[in-house]
């Protein structure tokens, strides 16, 4: 770049340089906002994912309770069959007892019946306990089902809110991208390339101010030569330490 002689030319160059820095700063602000909004979008998506995972886990637990109840029902059924068998045996013995002739046979069968009756009442007790436990399990299943339903309605609300948020964010991003292309159109290829390169390497912070001769990107002192260069407003000025594009803060200008 050749600087033409004449004060007027230099001033207009300086003005165009300031304008270029201004465009770069606006561009950076837009890019920072876009990045933040993209982050928000991701974060909101995680919220839904997290809730869905929680519900999935609860449903799994609910299914396990269901299985537990099923096998419990089966076991209770087996015990009830045992009880029926026992009752049948006792009934048979009673009929036999009526046809008995001797006292010896009578007392033997009576003993046998006594043993079976004891088994029977043990079984009845067991079944009663199982029924109580079964009712408890059903209650637990019921309240768990309600919990899952509640969580699901919460998820629905969350999904609706997130959907609305995402739409809003998406619109904001679209607007910002429109603005962004307006600003990039104002920049020359050289400045744009420098900017893009820095954004990709410096955590999106490509344009930084110089305050009290210190670069606000890396907080290293800049040389007087750099200040002179910035005051002259010639080419794009880079920090010698971090390589970012520098500009003078309004207060330190003039």
Task: Give residues in contact with Zn ion (CB under 5 A).
Answer: 215, 217-218, 239, 241-242
Per DSSP, the chain holds a count of helices (H) and strands (E) of 4, 3
Query: Which of residues 181 and 241 has its CB atom nearest to Zn ion in the complex?
Result: 241
> Tokens 């609305």 map to which residue?
164
Residue 95 Ramachandran class (φ > 0 left, ψ -120 to 50 alpha, else beta): alpha
Whichever of 16 and 241 has its CB closer to Zn ion, that residue is 241
Q: State the minimum distance, in angstroms, from the CB of residue 1 to Zn ion.
A: 23
Q: With helix as H, strand as E and coil as C, how does 224-241 read?
A: HHHHHHHHHCCCCCECCC
Closest distance to Zn ion from the beta carbon of 10 (Å): 27
Residue 214's SS3 state is strand
Residue 28 vs 123, nearer CB to Zn ion: 28
Q: Which is nearer to Zn ion, 30 or 208 (CB)?
A: 208
Residue 16 or 225: the one with the smaller Cβ distance to Zn ion is: 225
Q: Considering beta carbons, is residue 76 or 209 the nearer one to Zn ion?
A: 209
> How many angstroms separate the CA atoms of 118 and 96, rounded?
19
| Cβ contacts of 97 within 8 Å, gap of 6 or more | 106, 109, 110, 113
* Shortest Cβ 252–Zn ion spacing (Å): 16
Smallest separation (angstroms) from Zn ion to the CB of 220 = 5
DSSP state of 250: G
Residue 253 CB, shortest distance to Zn ion, in Å, is: 18
Determine the 3-state secondary structure of 141 from DSSP: helix
How buried is 65 (Cβ within 10 angstroms: 0-12 exposed, 13-18 middle, 19+ buried)?
A: middle
CB of 242 to Zn ion, least distance (A): 3
């Amino acid at each position: 770049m050749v600087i033409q002689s004449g004060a007027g030319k230099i001033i207009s160059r300086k003005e165009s340089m300031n304008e270029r820095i201004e465009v770069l700063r606006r561009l950076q602000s837009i890019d920072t906002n876009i990045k933040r909004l993209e982050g928000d979008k991701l974060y909101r998506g995680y919220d839904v994912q997290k809730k869905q995972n929680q519900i999935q886990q609860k449903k799994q637990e609910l299914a396990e309770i269901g299985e537990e109840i099923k096998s419990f029902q089966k076991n209770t059924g087996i015990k009830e069959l045992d009880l029926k068998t026992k009752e049948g045996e006792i009934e048979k013995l009673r009929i036999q007892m009526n046809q008995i002739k001797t006292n010896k046979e009578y007392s033997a069968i009576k003993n046998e019946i006594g043993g079976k009756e004891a088994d029977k009442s043990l079984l009845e007790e067991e079944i009663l306990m199982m029924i109580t436990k079964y009712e408890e399990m059903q209650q637990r299943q019921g309240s768990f089902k309600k919990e899952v339903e509640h969580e699901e309605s919460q998820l629905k609300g969350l999904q609706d809110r997130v959907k609305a948020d995402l739409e809003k964010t998406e619109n904001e991003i679209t607007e910002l991208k429109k603005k962004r292309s307006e600003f990039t159109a104002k920049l020359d290829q050289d400045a744009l390339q420098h900017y893009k390169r820095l954004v990709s390497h410096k955590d999106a912070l490509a344009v930084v101010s110089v305050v009290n001769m210190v670069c606000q990107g890396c907080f290293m002192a800049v040389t007087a030569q750099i200040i002179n260069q910035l005051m002259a407003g010639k080419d794009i000025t880079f920090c010698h330490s971090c390589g970012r594009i520098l500009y003078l803060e309004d207060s330190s200008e003039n």
